[in-house]
Chains A and B, each alone.
Chain A
Amino acid sequence: MAANSSRPHQPESSSFWPVTLLVAAVLIIACASYFFWKPVTRDDGQGPGKNVENVKKEPVGETDPDTSDTDFDQLADIEEVQATLTGRLKKLSEKYANATGLKPDQVGQFAVSGFSAAPLDATHLETVFRSPAEAASKITARRLVEMDDVAGTAATIDPNDDASPKVDFTAFMKSVFDPIVGDSGESRLRSKFKIFRIERDQDKIHTGVLASFFALNSNLQSGEFNATLDITWAPQADSRYPLIESIRITDYECATYTGSNPVGFEDYTASLFDHDPQLIEQFGQGADQWAAKIADHGVFGYNGICVGDVNSDGLDDIYLCQPFGLPNRLLIQQPNGTTKDSSAEWNIDLSDHTRSSLLIDLNNDSKQDLVVGAANGLLVYENNGSRFVLKSKYPDIQDPYSMCSADFDNDGDLDVYVCGYYDKRAEGRRFPFAFPMHDSNSGGPNTLLRNDGNFQFVDATEQVGLNADNQKYSYAAGWQDFDNDGDQDLYVANDYGRNCFYEFENGKFRNRAAELEIEDQSFGMSVDWADINHDGRMDLYISNMYSTAGNRVSFQDNYLSRRPELQNRMQYMARGNSLFLGAENGFDDIGGSANVFMGRWAWGSKFVDMNNDGWDDIVVPNGFLTRKIADDL
């Protein structure tokens, strides 16, 4: 057992955790910002009206926002109720590990005895996707038709309408997952419920719940559904657990897959690494394991990757960046598809703290050179055919995040744009302290490095006007010719606030994000472009944070009610990823109607046509910190 390592001055009262949970809930909206929960003694005599008025003029100024009307006890209270209900739903999901689900005598633990609800009527599912006949792997997608479109059927799923058919709890659940299980025989189920909305009236609790079920069926078939449910709970006098009184399906979509494997993508990493024990040891562990062994390793795990053909054999190779103390790895593809670790041989087994890199030809000699963003500066390497040689170093660019390259000045060589997150002056901080969190301007500068030949770069940021709005917490950026005028424009995703979109015109960049309504004031993490609707105009997808906790809290009536605009912003910040469709005069915000908000705490989202049907799909890697102590959010 452990020799006592608890800290001597840590509070240990039992009231500590609920408060922290509440704080953590906001952390999800606010990341590290705890301000909003700080009791504020504000009475400047201006009255509430004045404050609301002020919002527009000073988009949330330098002082704490007005939270005096927010009843924290009540919020804490409702979060506690939420935690209880989440616990019940988790239990329920454990019971549904297979299609049998609840045993008859267990139903009473979850639903009221008179539970009845309108079941999912499969005849109202419309097929929205089906693989072509030629496909060996079949994908189908079905969706609940808009009720208004089916004349006379609205009543069939309205639990409040006595005329609609009702079933008991078990039958209701079966109706919901039947479309993904079918008559496949044995199925394993995995489910998850998340409460994204909670309201309480006098004797009932109403929750909005996202339900996701995944079924792995015995006939090499899998299926999933994602549904939105209105669940009403009735508190019980004789139990601390409320019971489900009714469920109404407001949204339902399911998809199935049949192929030679149960799912579309398989993990081939072990053979890709050619079972190299060093690589297994390094990548088989994560930031938490390494940070316990390597001082200053960090736990946030911003491990970047780049793909390029380093040895000019026509096959892609991989360069992986690693946090402090672990060597970066160059994996060169072999003719048989596996890789050989060539990091040391190519002179780039760097153990400095690095996050991202680019493999690009900087001197147009047909060999891929390398730019590495290291904490101690940007490093530029020449590929001489058999190894990389360090040619120049830019120590002023410290701690870079994402980088992207284009020949912005069209002089025939590639320039590099580097995102900066922290302000170097804020050294010693372990986590960013951005304020105000929805519009911060205290981050580090981004840099445009102009390629002046011979692996020498010049900081051209100011010269070309990219120094405007350049003090944000930038995670990522992407070049694209959005207006098809032949030059490269630049979108920059910023954490804690407004993104930037710099249009290139007459040798200068100008931030037009506000004008084009693509500031996407949220927690921007990534940028990708594609033409998703074949209209020849490029569309934009930005990772943010979809947060059920953020949704719950920010939609509470009394939360920031005196500052409706601020409340709207908080709600916007919790809504998730954004999809902006390139239109004739700007962009259309279609993430909601296209159903692509819900990317959770999203990072490197990408457009990619997974099934080669010509339509670019979207993939979202996500999750912030999964660790040994759960966050219960």
Chain B
Amino acid sequence: MREQHELFDHEMRVGRSFSGQERNCAFLNLGQLSFANVSSITGLDYLEDGRGLALSDWDLDGDVDFLLTNRNAPMFRFLRNDIQSGNHFVSFKLAGTLCNRDAIGARIRVKIKDGDWLTKTVAAGSGFLSQSSKRITFGLGQAEQIEKVEINWPDGSQSNLANLAMDQHYSIEQTDEAPLVKTLVRPEQTDLQAGPLAFPERTAVATYVVPPIRMPITEMKNHDGTHSRIDLATANDATQFTLLNLWASWCEPCKVELKEFSENYNQFTELGIRVIALTTDGLPNQDTTLEDAKWVADKLKFPFEWGTADQDWIEKMSILRGAFYDVQQPYPIPTSFLIDSAGQLRVVYQGKVGLEQLRQDIQRLASPQDELRNLITPFSQSWTSKPRTANDLRLKSLFADQGYPADAAFYDGHAGPEKARLEYANAVKSIMANDFNSANGSLLAAIKYDPTYAPAHLNLADIISKAAQQDRGPNAVQYFKLAEHHYRQAVKYEPDNFDANFGLGFVLARQGEVDNAIKWFDFASKLAPTKWESQLAAAKLLASQGKLAPAIQRLQTAVSQSPDDETLVAELSGLLIHSGRYDESKVLCEAFLKNRSNPLIQTRLADTHFFAGKPEEAVSLYQQVQPSPLLALKTMWIYSTSSVPALQKKDALRPFVKDMLQSNRANDPLSRQVVAAALAQLGDFEMASRIQTSALRLYRPGTADAQAAQKRLTDYQNKKPARQKGAQDNPFAQSLLQTPM
């Protein structure tokens, strides 16, 4: 099976045809379910390997022109319809308003007077890899006039149009009533002339190898017949580049080239280039001998190293090329290989190469890593994918398969990044299977193979962070520190990764480094404006520091991106209330509740009223929501602290107090405060004072809540019930900073 694939692969590389030289076909519809072959007389029967076909009445002359793409040259043909058919036409472009704007899916039916109904559909995407114009052209033959036109819009509505003229281009916009009809006047078109693309002259001789490929073990045969290995990795040397030049004594351009190299060799040296000339003279299938080469070398006084190319090496260079290029071409003579100080092949020059070209290329090769791939064509371009990296593992297996074990081992030694990716793939499988121990091991191995591999760091950090969150013991601190280290590595090597930025913020927050954490959350937010997790996290941290305005600002951004998320709206509303911005909170909640009911936001709306000093509204809203302990407390607090008799629902307060005291549920300061206030409202000031004292003990002394509680205790001791006026001293204020459950 694999052999068959390799055979096919080989056939592809050397350029064998499969079902090639096929002429495009065209069939003329004769009516009566019969077609005539008109492939040639239409002029459509080009020999190229046609692929996509898009239709458009490009020149708006009433007939449909063809836009054709091909596999081979030319890759594109604009075929204008020059058939002067003598027939009528009408064309339509639809605009939906009650359906999708492009009116994709709409049916247009044209009734010809005394003739047939013609039917066409507005479509987007048809044929193969193609999308045709949304202007729909109807050929009308020898019709006298259009009787009527019916449009069935995708929303199910129908428009009927009468009195449309033939040979017009109409634009039709759907409305609630009669559609708007406009005609399009075709612009002057004078500059289109028949003529296909002329094939460009072949200019480029330089092929840039992107990503760079590590050279195989390179040997040359010395004049005495011994072999010596050429060390291409010259990192510690003044030599920045090696130019391996393949030449032969019978090759005239080679000699011209080598003469230039020899005469200007000091300039090569200045550029950091050393030249090594490898001749093919004397190789088995050559007519010339090493003596011929020696004669040339002596005559030109080569100032650089030279020797005979190794037959195996030439084959290895061919394997190397085959590994990356889908079309195999033999290397011509001369060919030069520009190799960098890391021993990586960067440029291949087929034919002669000059000093100026080398100078320019060395400059180009100094471009940042991300821009290197722009060298592969002379066109301006942009990318959405990450640059590819060389695959030493692939080379390893290729050289092993082709019988070069030493080279295979050589590539294996450099295959760290690819091995890292394999380990990473294993880790992902383990994570999917919830086997975090194995995942941990694989990720550590991946990092060992490639310390710069961000995904491994990120996933490892995630696993450690998760462990830290579950660990209640003393190890948690160390775990968070370790997770932080890996998140930092991930961010270092992949600064644009949202998860890495967010994760780093999270572990910093858990270690109490709030300001730092906010910084990373904000980085994350910039990277992915549509993800609100980081905005929310930053807002929470800011709020916890009392920085409400910036917290609100972040949440507002998040809500504008995700207006339908209840958590975000609830958080924002809570902060707005906390800041006394009741109107904004009210508008926010009411907008959210416009078309739906949502207990969380309804509660927030009630809270808004509660803190704004409108207890009646608050109570009535609280009662509409599913009861919860916190809601009950709030309601009871309103009953207990209201001076309005109608709101002092003593009938409700009594069972509440009884229940709370008996069930011993009043074990948090807030509940105790509410029970105390209820008792005070019911007139039992002594009990109220006792409970309030117990509540007070649970607050941190000196806080605003503690001071307010103390004030209330004094009131109870003076037999005065508690009175809540809006937000002032509201014991529920802190609860606003957490999303109520």
Contacts and interface: CB of A to CB of B under 8 A. Distances in A.
A538 B122 CA distance: 13
Contact of B38 (A141, A376, A594, A631): A141
Contact of B327 (A135, A288, A433, A601): A288
Interface stretch (B7-15, B479-487, B535-543, B568-576): B7-15
Contacts of A291: 325-327
Interface stretch (A229-237, A400-408, A514-522): A400-408
A21 to B, nearest CB: 11
Contacts of B187: 315, 335-337
A628 B40 contact: no
Nearest to A301: B71
A185 B259 CA distance: 61
A327 B191 contact: no
A3 B120 contact: no
B56 A307 contact: yes
Given A141-B28, A605-B128, 13 more contacts: A139-B83, A269-B74, A286-B72, A302-B129, A303-B51, A306-B125, A349-B382, A361-B101, A488-B154, A547-B19, A605-B127, A613-B85, A624-B22
B73 A611 contact: no
A47 interface: no
A134 B100 contact: no
Contact of A604 (B51, B112, B331): B51
B439 to A, nearest CB: 20
Interface string B1-42: 100110111111011111111111111111101111111111
B131 A307 contact: yes
Interface in B331-390: 331-333, 335, 373, 376-386, 388
Nearest to A28: B19
A337 B141 contact: no
Contacts of A285: 73, 75, 199-200
Contacts of B138: 609, 614
Contacts of B233: none
B697 to A, nearest CB: 52
A224 B38 contact: yes
A264 B19 contact: no
A260 B84 contact: yes
A337 to B, nearest CB: 4
Interface string A98-139: 000000000000000000000000000000110111111101
5 contacts: A326-B379, A480-B121, A600-B23, A600-B25, A611-B63
B29 A139 contact: no
Q: Which of A256, A261, A264, A486 has the most CB of B within 10 A?
A: A264
Interface in B63-94: 63-64, 66-89
Contacts of B379: 278, 281-282, 326-327, 349, 351
Given A214-B40, A355-B129, A265 B51 contact: no
A77 to B, nearest CB: 22
A529 interface: yes
A446 interface: no
A336 B246 CA distance: 52
Interface in B163-210: 171, 184, 187-200, 204, 207, 209-210
Nearest to A435: B1
B43 interface: yes
A3 B124 contact: no
B19 A612 contact: no
Interface in A314-337: 314-316, 318, 320-322, 325-327, 333, 335-337
Nearest to A142: B36
B99 interface: yes
A169 to B, nearest CB: 24
A284 B198 contact: yes
Nearest to B31: A615
A291 B530 CA distance: 39
Contacts of A266: 43, 79-80, 82, 194
B37 A595 contact: yes
Given A606-B55, A626-B21, A414 B330 contact: no
A164 B127 CA distance: 48
Contact of A621 (B36, B68, B322, B530): B68
Contacts of B188: 335-336
Would you list the 10 A-B pairs with minimal beta carbon distance, nearest first? A621-B50, A301-B71, A263-B43, A612-B139, A404-B125, A304-B129, A626-B20, A134-B86, A135-B86, A286-B72
Contact of B58 (A308, A333, A594): A333
Given A283-B75, A298-B326, A361-B100, A303 B52 contact: yes
Contact of A316 (B58, B125, B204, B211): B58
A619 B25 contact: yes
A437 B331 CA distance: 38
A360 interface: yes
A405 B104 contact: yes
A627 interface: yes
Interface string B296-326: 0000000000000101001100110110111
A284 B199 contact: yes
Nearest to B187: A335
Contacts of A286: 48, 70-75
